[in-house]
Amino acid sequence: MKHTIYSPFDMHIHFRQEEMLRLIAPLSAKTFAGGVIMPNLIPPIDNAEHLLQYQSEIYEAVNGYDFTPFMTLFFRSYSERELLEIKDKIIGIKLYPAGATTNSDAGVKEMSKAEGTFALMEEMGIRLLVHGETHGFVMDREKEFISIYDYLAKKFPRLHIVMEHITTKEAVDFLDRYENVTATVTLQHLLITLDDVIGGYMNPHLFCKPIAKRYEDREALLEAALKAHPKLCFGSDSAPHPIHKKECCGCAAGVFTAPIALQVLTDLFEKNNSLENLQNFVSDNAIKNYSLTKSNKNVTLVKEPFKVPSQYGNVVPMYADGELNWSILSVQ
């Protein structure tokens, strides 16, 4: 059995820097036509010079692969002049609440103080990509942030707001409330709950932020993905960390899924009799919601076992040493 995906996109991915960038980026570029690159580096990508330098480093790292990095800026207060200079070079600006996740200490502390930049973004047609969590109890942080999405969607009705890596039933329900709101969802949040992370022995390689939630949340996410909800796109949030930062006290947040994402998604959709919807979920919805150009890159998978390596360099992938039911047959 074979299945072809045309122009697959990963609408949320971390490439890191330097040696890690050179290791990780080709693993996405091999099978994806493009990806939305996150800007929470040290220092963050928050000006044109740094953005173009990072984009150049990505192209160098993926040399030989047909892959387009869709660049983002780290949210801060930007002037009109700054946004006019950069708006055609980015797919959006990524907002992190201060301290919400990896390298986000320089994020937003008060939404009201960001309204000037929101208004400029709305006027210029620049997307707002949001890590939507409060600083409340960890299981409730995304649910509590829904009221902030509600405020943003009402106050800036022409601003395209992307709820990144949603993890709750409440976020799925919110998708249909406003025309200017879309979302991404990760591979791991379609598959696991908090039980898989800490229900037995802690599995540090499944620890991520936002954390995996309850069974009812996973089911709501999975149902929306399998139906290829038109406002929902695949965004892996694949987030590599070296082993010594995962298997330690103070475990870094992030699940590394880039090399196995398409294989696992194909298996998941096939098992749920929804394989016909996979194309929309990993490609067509993104093309529509982000006004992308369809790539000529096509990935054919075959239903044959694939043994997941124990490591890619010094990074442990999801399902390390496991066997998947689908393999990549060819990329054209």
- Residues tagged active-site: 237
Alpha-carbon gap, residue 129 to 45, rounded angstroms: 14
Our measurement of the distance from residue 36's CA atom to the centroid of its chain's CA atoms, rounded to an integer in Å, reads 7
Q: Give bridge partners of residue 92 from the DSSP assignment.
A: 72
DSSP 3-state of 95 = strand
Helix/strand number for the chain, H first, E second: 13, 14
Q: Which of 161, 166, 154 is nearest to 190 (CA)?
A: 166
Alpha-carbon gap, residue 94 to 73, rounded angstroms: 6
Our measurement of the distance from residue 13's CA atom to the centroid of its chain's CA atoms, rounded to an integer in Å, reads 5
Alpha-carbon gap, residue 139 to 211, rounded angstroms: 8
- Alpha-carbon distance values, 281 to 6, 42, 83, 285, 289 (Å): 11, 32, 30, 6, 11
Tokens of 81: 């002049």
Pairing of strands 128-130, 2-6: unpaired
Q: What is the DSSP string of 218-258?
A: HHHHHHHHHTT-TTEEE---B----HHHHSSTTPPP-B--G
Helices (H), the chain: 18-29, 48-61, 80-86, 115-124, 141-155, 169-174, 188-191, 194-198, 215-226, 243-246, 261-271, 278-279, 285-289
